[in-house]
Amino acid sequence: METNDPSVADRLAANRRLLETMRAALVNLHKALVDSERVQYESTIGRIQSPNHFLQLVTSDPWFAWLSPLSRLIVSMDEALDARKPVMPAVVESLLREPARLLVASDTGSGFARHYEDALQRDPDVVMAHAQVASQWRARRAAQP
């Protein structure tokens, strides 16, 4: 795609900024969730012995597995932002719709929605990080024609 047209270049740059801003909010949320789960893990299972042990748990222990959809979304955003070519509007749109689909809490069932509900109920840091993501959704919708 030719980006010599200033209006096209401006739109591509604006889309990139939207994606970067949402990604930053999601990284914040992910950190709050990981920290919250660590507290739960340590109160239930026992103390985590080292940062390396913690990393191993986050990446491979079933306790933390529910976080993988959010981790994958952040990685997808990273890949789009790291690509050599400008991030195309359709890719940005797809990636920006995903948090609204994923971050739905539910007090029934299992999986991400249930764990997310539990984290929101127990940890104000998770609530604040969720509010930051929700603020990005609202700002994005308000900016759309």
Residue 116, domain member (yes or no) = yes
15 located within any domain: yes
Determine, yes or no, domain membership for 44.
yes
64 lies in which domain range? 6-143
pTM for the full model?
0.89
Say whether pLDDT at 2 is over 50.
Answer: no
Write out pLDDT tens, residues 7-66: 888 888 888 899 999 999 999 999 999 999 999 999 999 999 999 999 999 999 999 999
Domain count within the chain: 1
Do the domain assignments include residue 125? Answer: yes
Alpha carbon distance 48, 69 (integer Å): 23
Token pair for 81 = 């932002």
